[in-house]
A and B are shown apart, each in its own frame.
Chain A
Amino acid sequence: MSLGAPLFPNELAEPILWHPVLFAYALVISGADLIILASLAYISKRMTKVIPLLLVLGVSFFSAALLGPLADLRQPSRAPLIFLLAHLSPTETNPGFSFIALYANLWLMLIVLSLAFLLFYQSYSMHLKSLTAGRLRRFYSLLSLGVKDEKRYKKLTPIITVISLLTITPAVLWGVYPSVLLVFQTWLFLWRSWVILPLIFFADTFVASTAATLLVYFIVKMGRLEEEVVNPLLKIHSAGCVSVAGLLGVQLLLWNQWFEGAEVYAAFNVVVPVIYLVIATLTLSFLLALASLKVARLSILVSVAALLGVVMNKWNTLVNGQLVSRTGLGVLDLHLPSDWLLTTLSPIAAAIFIFVILSSIFPLEVKEVGQ
């Protein structure tokens, strides 16, 4: 706490109201971007080889997305009320609408759509698997949704296209969460001033999702990478890294323009040094991605650098962002609960666990019909 600076006493009682689990949550949300990539790949018929991996990883990550905020609730047993009493439209007693309620309901919609996408997309593979599955034959046969030949699977194409189209809007909306909540429905000084945060989050989730996919692909293929799969991901990843680094630079310029010379300017010292580190790390990841286009095995370093940058960026935004008082003048000390690391890692661990289960059911490489 900086002495002499105005702070509100209730801020001192609990400086970090939203614990670092929110930061894990923001990482798991990158599942939404994987679903966007899978949808776009399916519709455009490009990057088709990577669709199964994107879908399985996306569904696994996104299905764990609500575990983060659930862990942060003081009354977790009342969580279903978000769906039952959702504050989605304004009334006289409850003006406005809640982003938390909106996004919880969108999560439900997106998880149903992405599961349908996954099941329809993998239906023929499931049929093929049921032929050789032995005791699990009935299970895989059920997942094949009655598809028993290529002709029947081809008939599903319009349905899969519609579902993939439908997933894009809620997934894009989820790509900017929780930044919209931080900027538009809180009054914390730094978050309120971080006006382009939704754009940064959107680009950042692409960086996180492509980095995670490259890492998983590297592990699954034991380093034997196919350029056809890696290169499109590297290109998207590079664009994401440049966008995040550039947008962070723009935000620094805006803060300088708006607040230089003002009493509150010192508050930005809490986040600005880390922003420089994030820009440097993402620039490194971008350069490594360019090199990986020629030497694919370098993609593991691209992932590591990017994930380091993403972790620093999320921590800086979500945890350090809460350390500046609403007054914009005082800075609070960071006090974390003793179990913060376990609580933070558990949604990520849950996402990885779901991925292990799903990847044992659904193949991560599907031969296109006719191949």
Chain B
Amino acid sequence: MRRRELLKFALGAASILILPSSSAQAKHKRYAMLIDATRCYGCMACVAACAAENNVPIGVFRTWVERHVRKDGNITFVPKQCNHCENPPCVKPCPTGATFKRDDGLVLIDDETCIGCGACIQACPYGARFANPVKGVADKCTFCEHRLAKGLLPACVEACPAAARVFGDLGDPEGEVSKIVESSNVLVLKAWAHTDPKIYYRNLPKEADV
């Protein structure tokens, strides 16, 4: 009996010691994605995977791939989606707070409190939001947060055959995304808008930054 009590106490103490460190770790999470435009060859596997994973209706897109012709005549494909901005302009105009920014940097929408006013859609500089014609609420990329919760990668990342998309945690200095973002010349879309996007691009053609 005493031994059992001692064991219970030890387990309790251990959980107290472990939990704060794990929640602290969660707090430091800062999800981001790196897209290498030279690797993408426009197969649209990411678009199809996203639509299938998230029941995206036909005609609207959580992610899409743009085709840009450079001045030298070469073609570059540029995947785009919600940038999960650090300073998200879409969160401010939401009248009910249905769209919000999570601790880990994800910008999400609560379908239950969204009134479908469209203010967030008009506020997105990247055209990443849309009115979901089936649900009647605003919709956009969630970085597949339901998959992240299970330790899986976003569907678009997993589906990309060219590994053009790399997903990771900027809070982890040893992670691939952190290392590349730190060491190489990466760009973000519409940097002048001061939204601080969390989608970084390598080899982004100038024509795609519209």
Chain A interface (Cβ within 8 Å of chain B)? Answer: 6, 8-11, 13-14, 17-18, 69, 72-76, 78-79, 81-82, 85-87, 92-101, 104, 181, 185-188, 325-329
Which of B101, B119, B126, B136 sits near A185, CB closer than 8 Å?
B119
> Are the C-beta atoms of A74 and B123 separated by less than 8 Å?
no
> Are the C-beta atoms of A96 and B116 separated by less than 8 Å?
no
> Are the C-beta atoms of B97 and A85 separated by less than 8 Å?
yes
Going nearest first, the 4 A-B pairs with the smallest beta carbon separation are A74-B116, A8-B127, A96-B92, A101-B95
What 12 new A-B contacts, CB under 8 Å, besides A10-B129, A82-B96, A181-B119? A10-B127, A74-B137, A82-B95, A87-B95, A93-B101, A94-B91, A98-B92, A98-B95, A98-B119, A101-B95, A186-B122, A329-B210
- Interface of B (DSSP majority class): loop
> Are the C-beta atoms of B115 and A75 separated by less than 8 Å?
yes
**Residues on the A chain within 8 Å of B94, using CB:** 87, 94, 98
**Residues on the B chain within 8 Å of A328, using CB:** 210
Q: How many Å lie between the Cα of A81 and that of B137 in the bound state?
A: 14
Q: Is B93 an interface residue (CB 8 A)?
A: yes
Decide: A73 near B210, CB < 8 A? Known: A11-B127, A87-B94: no
Q: How many Å lie between the Cα of A325 and that of B125 in the bound state?
A: 10
Q: Is B70 an interface residue (CB 8 A)?
A: no
Q: How many Å from the CB of B83 to the closest CB on chain A?
A: 12
Which of B88, B113, B117, B124 sits near A100, CB closer than 8 Å?
B117
Q: How many Å from the CB of B26 to the closest CB on chain A?
A: 15
**Residues on the A chain within 8 Å of B92, using CB:** 95-98, 185
Decide: A326 near B114, CB < 8 A? Known: A10-B61, A94-B97, A185-B93: no
Q: How many Å lie between the Cα of A186 and that of B123 in the bound state?
A: 4
Chain B interface (Cβ within 8 Å of chain A)? Answer: 59-61, 64, 66, 87-89, 91-98, 100-103, 113-119, 121-131, 136-137, 193, 210
Q: How many Å from the CB of B179 to the closest CB on chain A?
A: 28
> Are the C-beta atoms of A17 and B121 separated by less than 8 Å?
yes
Q: How many Å lie between the Cα of A316 and that of B127 in the bound state?
A: 22
Q: How many Å lie between the Cα of A97 and that of B93 in the bound state?
A: 6
With both beta carbons as reference points, the residue of chain A lying nearest to B62 in the complex is identified as A10
**Residues on the B chain within 8 Å of A14, using CB:** 130-131
> Are the C-beta atoms of A13 and B117 separated by less than 8 Å?
no
Q: How many Å lie between the Cα of A17 and that of B139 in the bound state?
A: 14
Q: Return 28 A-B CB contacts under 8 Å, by A number.
A: A9-B61, A10-B121, A10-B127, A10-B128, A10-B129, A10-B130, A11-B127, A17-B122, A18-B118, A72-B118, A73-B115, A74-B117, A78-B96, A81-B95, A82-B115, A93-B101, A94-B94, A96-B92, A99-B93, A100-B119, A185-B89, A185-B92, A185-B119, A186-B93, A187-B123, A326-B124, A326-B125, A326-B126
> Are the C-beta atoms of B113 and A78 separated by less than 8 Å?
yes
With both beta carbons as reference points, the residue of chain A lying nearest to B210 in the complex is identified as A327
Q: How many Å from the CB of B188 to the closest CB on chain A?
A: 15
